[in-house]
Amino acid sequence: MENISLLLNRDLFGSEENRGKVMPIHEAKTLLDDWVKNEKLKVHMKQVGHLMKAFAISKGYSEEIIDKWYLAGLLHDADWDQWPDQHCRKIIEELESKAIDPEIIRAIASHGPRYFGVEPKSEMDKMLYAFDELSGFVHAYSLMRPEGYTGMEVKGVKKRLKDKTFAAQVSREDIQDASERAEIPVDDLIQFVIGNQADADLT
């Protein structure tokens, strides 16, 4: 993987005329079932989708906007399972061909600025980037705790973050960078993930 460039080399995604065009949730879930065979990856996408939705709800956004946030989270890694060398180009092109809202496509395109070369600009872009790594990290922590999410505390998560051998593939640098870009302290992001992730609908 290290030798493959995932740079997208562009900064415009989707088309303005498709603004407001959201994929029905059942269609997005069918796409996930078709493209993603790895159950753990599916759980990850549903958890990130749930966090995005919960965050949009906490901000008091409209139903339409909440759906956009949810879809960006739900679909952000859809191509990772079968086409890792085309991540996230393939899902972007799929959503462009289906004339989906450009904001959803852009958020997906900017979920890993170091890899895709696309800067997170909107609040939705920044929160997808922020929740992505942290969600997986907190989930990994929940799996090693006998009580799962129950009684989990921010300080416990932070202790694991300092332990570089725990969930070593999760980039601590990206977590810090995403928190700075979103202008939300890492502690607050962790608290939000702890408080919301256990309720994610994994169906």
What is the spatial distance between Cα 151 and Cα 126, in angstroms, rounded to a whole number?
28
Q: Which is nearer to Fe ion, 19 or 40 (CB)?
A: 40
Closest separation in Å from C-beta 161 to Fe ion = 17
For residue 119, CA distances in Å to 25, 30, 111, 168, 182 come to 27, 29, 8, 25, 12
What is the spatial distance between Cα 111 and Cα 17, in angstroms, rounded to a whole number?
23
Q: Which is nearer to Fe ion, 67 or 132 (CB)?
A: 132
- Considering only residues 100 through 159, tell me which ones interact with Fe ion, judged by CB under 5 A: 132
CB proximity list for 93: less than 8 A, separation 6 or greater: none
Q: Which is nearer to Fe ion, 109 or 186 (CB)?
A: 109
Closest separation in Å from C-beta 133 to Fe ion = 8
Q: Which is nearer to Fe ion, 64 or 168 (CB)?
A: 168
Q: Which is nearer to Fe ion, 143 or 151 (CB)?
A: 143
Q: Interface with Fe ion includes 77 (CB under 5 A)?
A: yes
Options 4-12, 77-85, 100-108, 118-126: segment touching Fe ion (CB under 5 A): 77-85
Closest separation in Å from C-beta 77 to Fe ion = 4
Burial of 201 (0-12, 13-18, 19+ CB in 10 A): exposed
Other CB atoms within a 10 A radius of the CB of residue 179 amount to 20
Question: Is residue 77 within 8 Å of 87, Cβ to Cβ?
Answer: yes
For residue 134, CA distances in Å to 13, 29, 65, 131, 149 come to 25, 23, 23, 5, 14
Q: How many residues bind Fe ion (CB under 5 A)?
A: 2
Options 33-41, 57-65, 70-78, 159-167: segment touching Fe ion (CB under 5 A): 70-78
Closest separation in Å from C-beta 45 to Fe ion = 7
Closest separation in Å from C-beta 138 to Fe ion = 13
Q: Which is nearer to Fe ion, 81 or 96 (CB)?
A: 81
Question: Tokens standing for 83?
Answer: 């086409």
How many Å separate Cα 149 from the centre of its chain?
Answer: 19
Closest separation in Å from C-beta 73 to Fe ion = 9
Residues that bind Fe ion (CB under 5 A): 77, 132
